[in-house]
Amino acid sequence: MAIEIERKFLVRDAGWREAVSRSTRMVQGYLVAEPGLTLRVRIAGERALLTLKGASRGIARAEYEYPVPLADAEAMLRDLACTALVEKVRHLVPVADRVWEVDEFAGANAGLVLAELELEDERAAFVRPDWLGEEVSDDPRYFNARLARHPYRDW
Amino acid sequence: MAIEIERKFLVRDAGWREAVSRSTRMVQGYLVAEPGLTLRVRIAGERALLTLKGASRGIARAEYEYPVPLADAEAMLRDLACTALVEKVRHLVPVADRVWEVDEFAGANAGLVLAELELEDERAAFVRPDWLGEEVSDDPRYFNARLARHPYRDW
């Protein structure tokens, strides 16, 4: 079990692209998408993960993540997902001593780009790159489970 | 992913005890307990498993099972379970060329004993031991997820 502490931002422009160190295509869906529990299946490249998250407490959240066989993940997304699938490319963008995850959404969420930073505690300091926009950590519209049900193109 | 095909019976008497080859104490709880999806955390001795099951189709059911760290399982049962915990001792009972699982429940389900047999297909033949009672495969009262919410002592 880990406690996930994550801050999430819009981007102001595409300046982040120059600094991308790696990009991975991801598709994910939710078997459970409740406020108190989400169960996510994610396929990232050739890897698959099953991730369980409890209720959010501020920007912190208990997270349990386990690798699963790719064929299991595909079958779960096909047979058990309770939401549409969310497609995105995750770009890793090093900035100073941290690595941002910039998610460029596709499919029903095309046009949306979110920059996320995992932090060791809620008050941890970090360098704000020029391309960083408004913080949306607390805005439930940007939760991935919400984007599966209410995609960006319908906003 | 596996397809679980299981037949479940009451026991007529305690004749099964003579043939027990191994007994393991188990405690399990459900993070999700819906007809179309159950998510179970089970601690069996020093091992822990996370098990996801889809909707039943007759006596067959898609099942995904992954080992998880014991500490994760304990935290999930403590923080995320949506039901009471189910306690039981699982006895393995070889009969002819098969091994029965005889679950002797404890706690709120004390007094209940169920004998289960996993089969390779729905019509597979098996030897019925003398101690075997009425079949309850299709009776939802005996589903473990149901026993977590409506324990035997309240029937």
Q: C-alpha A39: how far from its chain's center?
A: 13
List B residues 36-75 in contact with A (Cβ-Cβ < 8 A). Answer: 36-37, 39, 50, 52, 54, 62, 64, 66, 68, 71-72, 75
At B33 the three-state DSSP class reads: strand
| Nearby residues of B56 by Cβ (< 8 Å), 6 or more positions away | none
**Structure pTM?**
0.83
**Which one-letter amino acid corresponds to residue A32?**
V
| Nearby residues of A78 by Cβ (< 8 Å), 6 or more positions away | none
Predicted ipTM beyond 0.90:
no
Q: How far apart are CA A5 and CA A120, in angstroms?
A: 7
Å between A131 CA and nearest CA of chain B: 38
Residue B70: closest CA among chain A residues belongs to which residue?
A1
* Domain map (residue ranges) of chain A: 2-154
Are A27 and A40 in contact by the 8 Å Cβ rule? The answer is no
Alpha helices, H only, chain B = 70-79, 144-149
Residue A68: closest CA among chain B residues belongs to which residue?
B66
Q: What CATH architecture does domain A2-154 belong to?
A: Beta Barrel (2.40)
pLDDT one-digit tens code per residue, A21-34:
999 999 999 999 88
pLDDT one-digit tens code per residue, A95-141:
999 999 999 999 999 999 999 999 988 889 999 999 999 999 989 99
